[in-house]
Every structure is written in C-alpha cells, then in structure tokens.
A and B are shown apart, each in its own frame.
Chain A
Amino acid sequence: GENVEQHPSTLSVQEGDSAVIKCTYSDSASNYFPWYKQELGKRPQLIIDIRSNVGEKKDQRIAVTLNKTAKHFSLHITETQPEDSAVYFCAASIDPADSGYALNFGKGTSLLVTP
C-alpha cells in the first residue's frame, strides 16, 4: 500500500518568513496530493491540492510543487502570519474520481509562527 512520509514534524518560523513542508510517497499510481490544515481541536480543512498532470499550483501565499519522478511534493507558505500556526498534513491517493477519498496521510507538521 501507499506510504507517505512527512518532514519536519515540527517547524518554528518568524512571522513574515517562509515555511516549507516536504512529503514523499511510495506508490507511483498515486496522482492526487491534497494538503490539510488542522487547528487544535478542530476539523482538518483542505487548503490546496494538486494532481499529477501539473507540477506546481499556487493560491495566494500558498503553493504546492510536485515531482512525480522523485515521488515527492512540498507545501510552501510565504509571508507567514501567526494564524498560519496549525498542524499541516499531506496526503496521497489515486484519483478520487476513480476511487473516492481514501487518502493516505503523513504524520503531520506542527507549524508555529511567532510574532
């Protein structure tokens, strides 16, 4: 089955700096890669996703890059703000259009943005 590794497990940055979280996956059949943000005690929320037909996707201060050859993908947050502090999870799966959202998650990165 799919195995998703996520690094680092914790990340502390100063407000305004960039944060990068990296994930690797093992199953070359995976072609859907979402990122979820989970604030303490709350539900995971999708912040961005990428499919394997593109190498990069951007949404305001958030970007995700994908390298299918190397089987890794990364989340980039620029100009970080204290409200970005949360746990971020990457996930990988085959296309949900084929098999639904049976996602394989990484263990999460706890991001702390200090003022």
Chain B
Amino acid sequence: NAGVMQNPRHLVRRRGQEARLRCSPMKGHSHVYWYRQLPEEGLKFMVYLQKENIIDESGMPKERFSAEFPKEGPSILRIQQVVRGDSAAYFCASSPPIGALGTEAFFGQGTRLTVV
C-alpha cells in the first residue's frame, strides 16, 4: 500500500497564478481531508470530501479556494489567483468509510506551496 500520495511535493507560483494540488488516497479509502499548515502553526482543517461530494467545507476560505474529489482520479485542491499569504504546506489525509473498526486518518507528505 503506497499510502496517501500528494503531488507535487513542492510548487512555486507567481502571485495571480493558479495552484492545483493533487491527492490520491490510500487504497480502500473513500474519504479525503485537506489541511493547511502555516509556518510555525498547527494544521488547520479546510475541507472533507467523499467521492463526488463535499461533506464539510467549514474551514475553506470563501473565495479563490475550491476542492473536488471526482468519481475517478485524485482529489484536487485548487487555489485561484494566489497571494503571498497562501504560501504554506497543504496536507491531505484519507480514511476508510466512517464506522469501520480501527480507523484513523493517514496523512500524505504534503505539498509545499511558495508564492513569489
């Protein structure tokens, strides 16, 4: 099991460009979560998705940020018109279906976004 795979590991964007971060959950996991980690800070929950559904987006900024988890393919976190304050590490986590015994959320290695 390859674990939660995120790519790219590092992403540099100029202000105003778009950033696309991808996350492939662990095999058998149907739930994906995105977190943002600012320098010297803890992880902040952004959004929780199942296939083709957004379950909880209470942590997502209202503008410029969107997330999807299509029926086929990875989950995508999209940031439009990036600003310097978007520079952070973005972590994806995945979990099995809720209620499965012994579940935990497994994190990917993260994508480090730098906006210049």
Contacts and interface: CB of A to CB of B under 8 A. Distances in A.
Interface residues of B, number: 28
A98 B105 CA distance: 14
* Those 9 A-B pairs whose CB atoms lie nearest each other, nearest first: A101-B105, A105-B42, A43-B107, A107-B42, A105-B43, A44-B107, A102-B45, A100-B48, A43-B109
9 contacts: A97-B103, A98-B98, A101-B48, A101-B104, A102-B48, A102-B56, A104-B45, A105-B45, A106-B42
Interface string A3-17: 010100000000000
B56 A99 contact: yes
Interface in B56-109: 56, 58-59, 91, 93, 95, 98-99, 103-109
Contacts of A1: 58
Interface residues of A, number: 25
A67 interface: no
Given A43-B108, A43-B109, A46-B104, A101 B93 contact: yes
Contact of B110 (A43, A102, A106): A43
Contacts of A34: 104
Contacts of A44: 43, 91, 107
B55 interface: yes
Contacts of A101: 31, 33, 48, 93, 95, 104-105
A6 B40 CA distance: 13
Contacts of B104: 34, 46, 49, 101
Interface of A: 1, 4, 6, 34, 36, 42-46, 49, 89, 96-108
A49 B55 CA distance: 24
Contacts of B20: none
Contacts of A45: 107
Contacts of B105: 46, 96, 101, 103
A107 to B, nearest CB: 5
A34 B45 CA distance: 15
Residue among B4, B45, B98, B108 with the highest chain A CB neighbour number at 10 A: B45
